[in-house]
Amino acid sequence: MESNPVLLPGVPQSLSAKFEGSFAYLTIRDRLPTILTKVIDTIHRNKNKFFEEYGEEGVEAEKRAISFLSKLRNELQTDKPVLVLEDAQEDTEAWNRYLQYQRGLQGEHCPVSWFKSPWLYVECYMYRRIQEALCLNPPMSEFDVFCEGKTQSFLESTAAITALCTHLQQIRPTLTHTPESTLMDHLLTLLQVSLWGNKCDLSISAGRDNSQRVSPLDSLSALRAFVLLDDSRQVWAALRSGRDRGQRSRVQVDVVLDNAGFELLTDLVLADFLLASGLANQVRFHGKRFPWFVSDVTGRDFLWTVAQAASSNHTHLSACGGQWRRYLEEGAWSYHDHAFWTLPHEYCDMEWAAPDLYASLSSAHLLLFKGDLNYRKLVGDRDWPHHTPFSVALRGFSPASLCALRTLKANVQVGLAVGQGEGLSKDTPTWMTSGDYAVMQFHSPQQ
Ligand SMILES: O=P(O)(O)OC[C@@]1(O)O[C@H](CO)[C@@H](O)[C@@H]1O
Ligand SMILES: [Mn+2]
């Protein structure tokens, strides 16, 4: 029986696997079980490590975690009801409240389940259940099941990373006396590099290698045609608004991170440029509190990446890493991991679900949201008509000027011209899910 959740007036339904053949359906039927199987394999392959570190207790924990995850995979594949979490973590109650909310939407005759409920919810829930399997089996609770893939993504992107850091080191000495037009060109270039860094995502590839092997700067002109919305000049204007480079007013930029590996490197280079050019004087990074969507950044990934750069034997990479370490020591850069980023909420819920975070983001001059999942949460992962204004789809989420830097990997996109989405669907049916197209989409509270 189809679930017919309470419809909010004027707000389209959430994407869901209940629509057979949809991208959500194919993701939950095929990609999520593949990811879970790789997680189980990774834990199994590390069995000796657990024995060496924790003895028999480690081996027992490894066995229990694998049985938890095998049960989870079976629940998913047979569309069982979503279960309450039982690991007594800081966010457990919020997750179980959200399940109650979903039960209310679907009514008593249609259980909240993998193939009947919103895609955004059940996909986030899967990653939280992986965390539960580890939390309930200490000493595995600190084990990052995705660490190998994230590390490999970084190491295999070394050529692209060194090319990008070489570029930054070459322009760095000129930035304090560069003409405005040149400074803007540098910003637009590094925004595009950060945008396309988002193609390197291990969730869409279900863990298959997705490293950046060519210099990101060389491919920008060929990729220009695939940028469907380019509001990067509004990002420039937001950074320049109300201040002159000589003034000492505080310009804070918050970067809501996405993937570790090459994408994180592009974000660190962009953030370094913002400070070195004087366009901003504080950058706050927001990452995930536990392993999430295979390649998303955790605090450990963030610090490992800075350390890896600083200790590199490549001159420019180590120079950048040394500068990043100093930014962190001085407080010009800071890393944060609020629990909200690993809850299933659409961002229009943030003001009531995480008022402290909403207030904190409101102090920023500019928010940069990286990647596809952040975009899905910005617009609520709902089936909006493509010409719906971004401000409508945000449904009141507007703590500060914001720009989404996203390669399209899910079938939701707003803010296009009338007919633009339909035209793309005719010529390239996979335009919303291939990762080949991208948007830099801006919104300000004044809009
Ligand atoms: O947020 P990211 O890393 O750009 O992409 C996350 C993602 O790979 O996972 C989901 C599908 O499984 C989609 O949101 C998207 O394809
Ligand atoms: Mn991601």
CB of residue 263 inside a 6 A radius of ligand 1: no
- Residue 66: pLDDT over 50: yes
Nearest to 87 by CA among 144, 137, 140: 137
Per-residue pLDDT reduced to its tens digit, 93-143: 999 999 999 999 999 899 999 999 999 999 999 999 999 999 999 999 999
Exposed (0-12), middle (13-18) or buried (19+): which is 244, by Cβ within 10 Å?
exposed
Q: Between 211 and 234, name the one with better pLDDT.
A: 234
* Ligand 1 neighbourhood includes 372 CB (under 6 angstroms): yes
> In angstroms, what is the span from residue 366 Cα to ligand 1's centroid?
23
Q: Could you identify the atom of ligand 1 that is nearest to the CA of residue 201?
A: 3
Q: Which ligand is the nearest neighbour of the Cα of 34?
A: 1
pLDDT, mean of residues 169-192: 96
- Closest ligand to the CA of 203: 1
On the question of pLDDT at 311 being above 50, the answer is yes
Among 172-176, 212-216, 414-418, the minimum mean pLDDT is found in 212-216
Average pLDDT over residues 180-187: 97
Give me the half-sphere count of Cα atoms (radius 13 Å) on the Cβ side of residue 112.
20
Tell me whether strands 227-230 and 438-443 are parallel, antiparallel or unpaired: parallel
Nearest partner of 206 among 400, 83, 336, 28, judged by Cα: 28
Instruction: Tell me, in angstroms, the distance from the centre of ligand 2 to residue 296's CA.
Output: 5
Q: Return the C-alpha torsion angle 208, 213, 218, 221, nearest 10.
A: -10
Which bound ligand lies closest to the C-alpha atom of 435? 1
- The ipTM (two decimal places) reads 0.97
Q: Is the pLDDT of residue 4 over 90?
A: no
Ion ligand 2: residue ranges with CB closer than 5 A: 201, 258-259, 293, 296
Q: Could you tell me the distance, in angstroms and rounded to a whole number, from the CA of residue 202 to the centre of ligand 1?
A: 8
More confident residue, 202 or 267: 267
Question: What pLDDT sits at residue 201?
Answer: 67
d(CA 112, CA 106): 7
pLDDT higher than threshold 60 for residue 87: yes
Q: Which residue has the higher pLDDT, 67 or 176?
A: 67
User: Residue 133 and residue 209: Cα distance in Å, rounded?
Assistant: 25
The per-residue pLDDT for range 221-258, each reduced to its tens digit, is 999 999 999 999 999 999 998 555 555 578 999 999 99
Give me Rg for the CA atoms of the chain. Answer: 22
Distance CA 17, CA 117 (A): 7
Distance of alpha carbon 308 from alpha carbon 262, whole angstroms:
12
Cβ atoms of residues 159 and 213 within 8 Å: yes
For ligand 1, whether the C-beta of 292 sits within 6 Å is: no
> Using 50, 70 and 90 to split pLDDT, how confident is the model at 199?
confident
Give residues with Cβ within 8 angstroms of 70, minimum separation 6: 40
Chain centroid, CA 337 distance in Å: 13
318's tokens: 């180590």
pLDDT tens, position by position, 350-371:
999 999 999 999 999 999 999 9
Q: Average the pLDDT over 25-39 and give the result.
A: 97
Strands 252-256 and 227-230: unpaired
Q: Indicate the pLDDT class of residue 204, thresholds 50, 70 and 90.
A: low
Confidence (pTM): 0.96
Looking at the DSSP assignment, which residues form a beta bridge with residue 218?
none
What is the distance between the alpha carbons of residues 359 and 364, in angstroms, rounded to a whole number? 10
The segment(s) of the chain belonging to CATH 1.20.930.60 are: 23-135
Please report, rounded to a whole number, the percentage of residues in the chain having pLDDT higher than 90. Answer: 89
From-to residues of CATH 3.40.50.10880 in the chain: 148-443
Q: Is 371 a pocket residue for ligand 1 (Cβ < 6 Å)? A: yes
Closest residue by Cα to residue 168 from 312, 277, 328: 277
∠150-317-281 over CA atoms, to 5°?
A: 95
Q: Which of 110, 258, 282, 135 is nearest to 195 (CA)?
A: 258
- On average, the pLDDT of the chain sits at 94
Supply the pLDDT for residue 362: 97
Task: Give the mean model confidence (pLDDT) for residues 417-446.
Answer: 96
Residues in the chain: 447
Please check the confidence at residue 3 and state whether its pLDDT lies above 50: no
Q: Which of 299, 306, 298 is nearest to 328 (CA)?
A: 306
Using DSSP's 3-state secondary structure scheme, residue 311 falls into coil
For domain 23-135, say whether CATH 1.20.930.60 is its number: yes
Distances (CA, A) of 368 to 187, 242, 265, 377, 445: 13, 19, 15, 14, 14
Q: Give the pLDDT confidence of 323-355 residue by residue, as tens digits.
A: 999 999 999 999 999 999 999 999 999 999 999
CATH number (3.40.50.720, 2.40.30.110, 1.10.3720.10, 3.40.50.10880) of 148-443 reads 3.40.50.10880
- Amino acid 215: pLDDT: 73
Q: Which strands sit side by side in the sheet containing 438-443, from one edge to the other? A: 227-230, 438-443, 402-407, 366-370, 252-256, 282-286, 333-336
